[in-house]
Amino acid sequence: MFDTGNTGFMLVATSLVMLMTPGLAFFYGGLVGRKNVLSIMIQSFVSMGVTTILWYAVGFSLCFSGGEGGIIGNLDMAFLNGVDPTTAFGDGQIPMLVFVAYQMMFAIITPALITGAFSNRVRFEAYLLFLVGWLVLVYFPFVHMIWGGGLLAEWGVLDFAGGIAVHNIAGMAALASVLFVGRRRVEDSVPHSIPLVALGTGLLWFGWYGFNAGSELQVDQFTSLAFINTDIAASFAAISWLLFAWVLEKKPKFVGLLTGAVAGLATITPAAAYVSTGSAALIGLLAGIICYGAVSLKNRLKWDDALDVWGVHGVGGALGIVMLGLLGSTMVNPNGADGLIYGGGAFFVKQLVAIVVSSIYAFVFTYAMLWVINKITPVRTSDVEEATLDTSLHGETAYMHE
């Protein structure tokens, strides 16, 4: 009944995207201080449990059931009602359950991205409320609008694997969180474990092939294009960040190389199967330089985005959507659209409008949500808690000897 090759490929892609969340935990865990490692890592891992429950209950249905041309779907498929092992997705090549699982992995990692911005400052109870509220009020609507046949999809906006639906809205939510929560009282002067950061980057890079190539939802020529473009953009961004920072900071920094790679991965995501390999190289090159500039701007403005979520994911996701609006080509992929340089001025404008709308929506809803949560339970940790979050909040330590 189903195409076994495509089904097998999508199960592997789903597994790769799942691996990205532990990868993110290692990436963030290495960047914070020794006494706050577990508090940041648990925020990623708990999303795997909470988001799965929410996705099963209402999330998948709100994203992909009903609501054509609208902002949100309906609850017809709540608790996977009507979905059994024989239910087909799309043209019938893969089971619906595989698509449910694949999209669930995106839902798991997206709110976890935000946690890097407010590391060392947010109480666990408040984070759990934030996790649920943000998924329902921000993530689910944008997934529906872009991938579920909603408003933006009907209007003609393209986002292959999550420039808006994952990275931009997470980055803008991170910025809103930073401005609401405020600066850390005691900042981590250096990453406590750069090897952990490298491990996390490797897992993210590896998993990103499932993230981008898997978004074709089958194996064809565009799957391979998304795969190679992912690697090209990440590599060009890693090296451009390394070299640009080397000139300005006088040293070739390993963390800079790693951060640049993630910036390239985030930036190519919306355009992965819609642009040529040459365009992917240009996108990666610009991602390394522009995202580095965004992080530098953040530092000058004294925004305490601890792990540069806005500069890497928010700016990277937005840049990717804009570059798709410039460089997209139906000669490369007839399922895409022609960008501005190929005569697609209207498409370019739609991409710009989508970025502006998504940025404002994600920022405002996130800030308002944190304000409401703060009325229920304090969002910000106390002075005493902030110094040693692992022991004060979780009663555990990452390392035996401090």
**Domain residue ranges of the chain, discontinuous segments joined by +:** 4-394
Mean pLDDT over 91-112 rounds to 97
Looking at residue 119, its pLDDT comes to 86
Looking at residue 183, its pLDDT comes to 87
Q: Can you give the three-state secondary structure of 74-105, one letter per residue? A: CCCCHHHCCCCCCCEECCCCEEHHHHHHHHHH
d(CA 117, CA 134): 15
d(CA 209, CA 225): 11
**Binning pLDDT at 50, 70 and 90, where does residue 383 land?**
confident
**Binning pLDDT at 50, 70 and 90, where does residue 50 land?**
very high
Is the CATH number of domain 4-394 1.10.3430.10? yes
Q: Reply yes or no on whether the pLDDT at 402 is more than 60.
A: no
Mean pLDDT over 377-393 rounds to 86
Q: Reply yes or no on whether the pLDDT at 401 is more than 70.
A: no
**Binning pLDDT at 50, 70 and 90, where does residue 177 land?**
very high
Looking at residue 399, its pLDDT comes to 87
Residue 217, Ramachandran bin (φ over 0: left; ψ between -120 and 50: alpha; else beta): left
DSSP-derived 3-state class of residue 116:
coil
CA angle 88/89/93 to nearest 5° reads 75
Q: Which of 298, 258, 288 is nearest to 178 (CA)?
A: 298
Tokens encoding 157: 């906006």
Mean pLDDT over 289-311 rounds to 94
Mean pLDDT over 52-71 rounds to 96
pTM: 0.96
